[in-house]
Amino acid sequence: MNVVDSEVVVAILQQNDYCITDQMDEADLILVNTCSIRDNAEQRIRSRLKEFKRIKQQNAQVSVGVIGCMAERLKEKLLEDETIVDLVVGPDAYRELPALLSEVESGQKGINTLLSLEETYGDIRPVRMDRNHVTSFVSIMRGCDNFCAYCVVPETRGRERSRDPETIIGEATGLFEKGYREVTLLGQNVNSYQWEKGSRVLTFEELLEQVARIDPLLRVRFATSHPKDMSDNLLKVMARFSNLCRAIHLPVQSGSSAVLERMKRRYTREHYLERISAIRKYLPGASISTDVITGFCGETEEEHQQTLSLMEWVGYDFSYMFKYNERPGTLAQRKYRDDVPEKIKSRRLSEIIELQMRLSLESKERDLGQTCEVLVEGISKKSEDHLFGRTSQNKVVVFPKGLLKPGDYVDVTINRCTSATLIGNPAQPADPEQ
């Protein structure tokens, strides 16, 4: 989501005669788009600001701004803590950047961290900063109303509001016409998307169908779904359109119903497993990925084992795995003690990672000997003679380049794999005389 926000910021600034540069030493303005989900993300930003201090010492005319969630969370304190920062702008105030920059040019500090109940930037076409010009992101909503106990997002990005579907369809159509072949629809909880116009309410399922109908050659993904809102109707829509990718990211966070209740996730282990069964029923062969937090407040060894057993039962293809990191101002920080020792958190995380590595390898091994349709995204990192792309199941595939180029679809027969990558060869085209 920060990628999309950065592209929106570039679009706003370009409309006001700014231009982007890849060379930081050439810049008159340096903006850092930030995340506050975890403390180490904020610490990395503070380290980067120290690097920018050197640039500012060489050129006093350079302005430095912090935008996004960290700006929203810390507000004026950020200006006090980081003296080189001239500008602090929250995620709903990007339209004010030109005016705030004028204040900075006049010698003042610029700050706007007001959250909005309406801002979606739906009328702004982001300036695409991706390198491959094949895949891109389209934001369909902003904010979150779930208020999970550990999460700062509702505080830093505000309440849920959905974007006008006409602007979403227009943006996705425009990307396809420019040669893009895959879009990912983004929202903190895409299942909650709804657009009201008169007595008519457009749901996420209906929006997804409209995007799928743009063209069969346009692959469509989405992130992120919430288990409490993942409906059978959504799965049925996905089953009807082959260009709706067979990959679902469904964060579980914990395999223990007791921990989920403390987390305020509003579903149980049993409900989550029932949703997995529904995915398998309507979308056989779909890959499933997840988020896992270990060491949440009060987590017992038995509750940790429940997470491991759930992961084993689901057989995730991929997981984002973290130790619990207490964040200021959250319900968990106010109500619970962060009482799982760091050593135990680290050991539990190691066990989760080890299990996921095995599950990922098993997932890839099931594809050996299979022929998969792959969307070519670019040159392999390890060899200029090879390309990489992804299957509908979001699995990375590496294969010889031949005459193929980014944006092509190709059938690849898989003959080797690692836990992260499938390796194969483009399938031979059928003999038309046979």
Q: How does pLDDT run across 271-282, given as a tens digit for each residue?
A: 999 999 999 999
β-strand pairing of 371-379 with 318-323: unpaired
pLDDT of residue 93: 97
User: Which tokens sit at 363?
Assistant: 């997932």
- The overall average pLDDT reported for the chain is 95
Domain boundaries in the chain? 2-112, 130-245, 248-366, 371-426
433: pLDDT strictly greater than 80: no
Closest CA to 276 of 286, 262, 266: 286
Closest CA to 92 of 65, 73, 116: 116
| pLDDT 10s digits, 317-357 | 999 999 999 999 999 999 999 999 999 999 999 999 999 99
pLDDT of residue 73: 95
Residue 133 burial (10 A CB sphere; 0-12, 13-18, 19+): middle
429: pLDDT strictly greater than 70: no
**What's the CATH class of domain 371-426?**
mainly beta
Confirm whether 2-112 and 248-366 share one CATH topology: no
Give the mean model confidence (pLDDT) for residues 3-12: 95
Cα–Cα distance measured from residue 166 to residue 122, given in angstroms and rounded to the nearest whole number: 9
CA atoms within 13 A on the CB side of 339: 9
What is the three-state SS of 233-297? Answer: HHHHHHHHCCCECCEEECCCECCCHHHHHHCCCCCCHHHHHHHHHHHHHHCCCCEEEEEEEECCC
pLDDT of residue 24: 86
Cα–Cα distance measured from residue 68 to residue 6, given in angstroms and rounded to the nearest whole number: 9
Spatial contact of 252 and 291, defined as CB atoms under 8 Å apart: yes
The superfamily in CATH containing domain 2-112 is Methylthiotransferase, N-terminal domain (3.40.50.12160)
Helix H or strand E segment including 226: none
Dihedral angle over CA of 337, 341, 347, 349, nearest 10: 30
Alpha-carbon distance values, 430 to 367, 371, 411, 427 (Å):
21, 13, 11, 9
Cα–Cα distance measured from residue 94 to residue 148, given in angstroms and rounded to the nearest whole number: 26
Cα–Cα distance measured from residue 17 to residue 131, given in angstroms and rounded to the nearest whole number: 23
| pLDDT 10s digits, 124-168 | 999 998 888 999 999 999 999 999 999 999 999 999 999 999 999
Task: Give 164's contacts (C-beta < 8 A, 6+ positions apart).
Answer: 120, 122, 195
What burial letters (b/e) apply to 158-185, b meaning 16+ CB within 10 Å? bebbbbebebbbebbeebbeeebbbbbb
The domain 248-366 is classified under which CATH number: 3.40.50.2300, 3.40.50.10860, 3.30.750.200, 1.10.275.10? 3.30.750.200
pLDDT of residue 410: 98
pLDDT of residue 132: 87
* Cβ neighbours of 124 (radius 10 Å): 17
Closest CA to 295 of 271, 321, 274, 273: 321
* Size (the chain), residues: 434
Closest CA to 45 of 67, 29, 24: 67
pLDDT of residue 428: 66
Distance of CA 102 to the CA centre of its chain: 33
The domain 130-245 is classified under which CATH number: 3.40.120.10, 2.160.10.10, 3.40.960.10, 3.30.750.210? 3.30.750.210
pLDDT confidence band for 430 (50 / 70 / 90): very low
Q: Which percentage of the chain shows pLDDT scores above 70?
A: 98
Query: DSSP readout, 105-120?
Result: HTT--EEE----SS--
Spatial contact of 69 and 34, defined as CB atoms under 8 Å apart: yes
| Amino acid of residue 392 | S
pLDDT of residue 2: 86
